[in-house]
Amino acid sequence: MPEHPVDPLEEAFESMRDTSRYPLPDLDPGTVRGLGDRRRRRRRAVAGGSVAAAAVAVLAGAVLVVGGGPEPEPLPAGPTRSTTPTPSSTPPAPSGTAEATPTGPPTTTPTVDATPTAPSTAPPPSPAAPLDPATMPLTAGYPDTNEDGTATRVERGPGPGVDVCGQTILTGRDARSVAVGRFLGGEDFRSRTLVVFSDEAEARAALEWTAATVRDCVGSPDLPAGSSVTVLGEAEGPGTFLWSQDYGPVGGPAMATGIRRLVLLGDALLVDTVDGEAWGPGGSADDEDVVATREALVPVVEAVRGARGSG
Amino acid sequence: MEPEEFDAWYEAAFARLVRQVYAMTGDEEEARDCVQEAFVRAWDRRSRIDAGRGRDAWIRTTAHRLAVSRWRRRRMDRRASDRAVGVTVAADGPDERRVALVAALRHLPEAQRVALVLHHIADLSVDEVAAETGAPAGTVKARLSRGRAALADLLAEGATHA
């Protein structure tokens, strides 16, 4: 008879802890790493920035700067705004896209020119011309389809906004006009919302209010458990604001990251978000995914600048 | 994390993590699949999981989430491609105690089940369980106490009916 009575519950727990006869994993470690590397390459490709492009973006870190400095060199890749005078003078746009015509009336279908074109040689439109955000290539670099098979596209109307300590802001609901491009992947969610205000002062006020709101959120009890916010501020230049939010078990490593950035473009504010398990850390402006998403946004910034006719 | 370090971790931790996720989900094959997939993701994102014991927590949490997510998807639309590896496995054979324990765990509320698995199978302290689940230590203690009592009853009931 045992000295101590056997606790059946403890015995059952012990049987679960004992893995001495457990079979080896199906995949050897090298195969697991190989799959992980492939996943990483695919993720990088989907992010719209190759390693080389990301390196360029690091060097051209001020590419999102919207004022107070020299104009950045336009990057060769990615869609740019067409200045073709009439839609009929260009080949039909691919399905789901259309030409953005700076002088014509807004198209009824919010679409973008997703085909890279030559840099503009025509004079820019008048700065006073109203910007139609739905004609901007907000989905540039996104996959063509969402996980459910629907096409990624630019749509008019409020964007999904950004959650800051439980408060959803930057939907653009009350702005003069707003459009959003979204991509919904399995573990990868992205959106770009272009909010056009009545004037630049209003847009700048929105940027500054958001910056203050995000800074107040750092360390706030309103943050979900296991979540933390890192403010990178104007790391991408004046007139920009960058922050990230991590999610994961409390005290443990982050499982998912959200990277958010604002870019002031005259009377417009571009809100760029990426979220989900597909995104790596965003604790520094030099982190790989921060660089890749910055690079991916350049064609959009350039297109809006082209449409406004100024930086 | 260097490849050698990852390989050693993978080989040492795979079985215990499968057991832990199995205890949480009740499906051993799915647990193997999800832990395997979590390790693939871990290598992909190794720069963010260099935190010692936090590595196991990352795999455990990712695999558990994957298992829950797959279960939800299967309810709507069975898709073979959801399975990351899809290999039918033969684990180390049924063990009456393990089968009974997992069956009993499935009758408990998820919060109690997770607390019991983390404390009694993953061997985490109460504070570590609190950190991983985001619950106060007092709440974890209560869950453990109630969970153990319920589990003991369920196991006794199972033994009586056996």
Place of tokens 């990088």: A44
Q: What CATH number belongs to B94-162?
A: 1.10.10.10
CA–CA distance, A49 with A66 (Å, rounded to integer): 22
pLDDT digit string (tens) for A86-127? 333 323 333 333 333 333 333 333 333 333 333 344 444 445
pLDDT at B71 over 50: yes
Place of tokens 């080896």: A24
Does the distance separating the beta carbons of B57 and A252 come in below 8 Å? yes
Give the chain B residue whose CA is nearest to the CA of A26.
B87
Measure Cα distances from A18 to A110, B88, B122 in Å.
60, 22, 11
Chain-wide mean pLDDT for chain A?
72
**Does B47 lie at the interface with A, CB-CB under 8 angstroms?**
yes
pLDDT digit string (tens) for A214-243? 999 988 887 777 788 999 999 898 999 999
Q: Compare CB distances from B36 to A11, A12, A27 and report the shortest one's residue.
A: A27
| 3-state secondary structure (DSSP) of residue A253 | coil
Nearest CA to A219 out of A203, A231, A207 is that of A231
Under the banding of pLDDT at 50, 70 and 90, the label for residue A77 is very low
**Does B63 lie at the interface with A, CB-CB under 8 angstroms?**
no
pLDDT digit string (tens) for B16-59? 999 999 888 888 888 888 899 889 888 887 877 766 667 888 88
Under the banding of pLDDT at 50, 70 and 90, the label for residue A27 is confident
CA–CA distance, B109 with A184 (Å, rounded to integer): 32
- Say which DSSP state A231 is in: E
Does the distance separating the beta carbons of A17 and B16 come in below 8 Å? yes
In chain B, positions 6-45, which contact chain A (CB-CB < 8 Å)?
6-7, 10-11, 14-16, 18-20, 22-23, 32, 36, 39-45
Q: Which residues of B touch A37 (CB under 8 A)?
A: 43-44
Under the banding of pLDDT at 50, 70 and 90, the label for residue A156 is very high
pLDDT digit string (tens) for B108-147? 888 899 999 999 999 899 998 988 888 889 999 999 999 9
pLDDT digit string (tens) for A244-296? 988 766 655 666 788 999 999 999 999 999 987 667 777 888 888 888 899 89
**Does B152 lie at the interface with A, CB-CB under 8 angstroms?**
yes
Q: Which residues of B touch A17 (CB under 8 A)?
A: 16, 19, 121, 123
Helices and strands (H and E) in chain A: how many: 5, 9
ipTM over 0.95: no
